[in-house]
A = this chain, B = another copy of it.
Amino acid sequence: MKARVTVMLKDGVLDPQGEAIRHALGALGFDGVGGVRQGKVIELDLADGTGEAEVRAMCERLLANTVIESYRVELA
């Protein structure tokens, strides 16, 4: 089975990477780009039967820094 974890900086945490992308898009002539946030996506191939609870434990212990990042788990 597959799981996809999306990790984003929490609202209110400065995102210099996203800000750099926003600036660069403007410089390239793309108008109307308001805000940009960049995060990580991690795709995991897991043994069948792995539960969402175990994936969330992976997030808490390794994949996300929960002080400044939030994460979302999708199983497929």
A positions within 8 Å CB-CB of B: 6, 8, 18, 21, 24-25, 28, 30-47, 50, 54, 57-58, 61-63
Contact B8 A32 (CB under 8 A): no
A10 and B17 CA atoms in complex are apart in Å by 22
- When A6-B41, A39-B41, A41-B6 are in contact, do A46 and B62 touch as well, CB less than 8 Å? no
Among candidates B18, B42, B62, residue contacting A42 with C-beta atoms closer than 8 Å: B18
Q: Which residues of B contact A50 (CB under 8 A)?
A: 32
Q: Which residues of B contact A41 (CB under 8 A)?
A: 6, 8, 38-41
Among candidates B24, B34, B54, B58, residue contacting A62 with C-beta atoms closer than 8 Å: B24
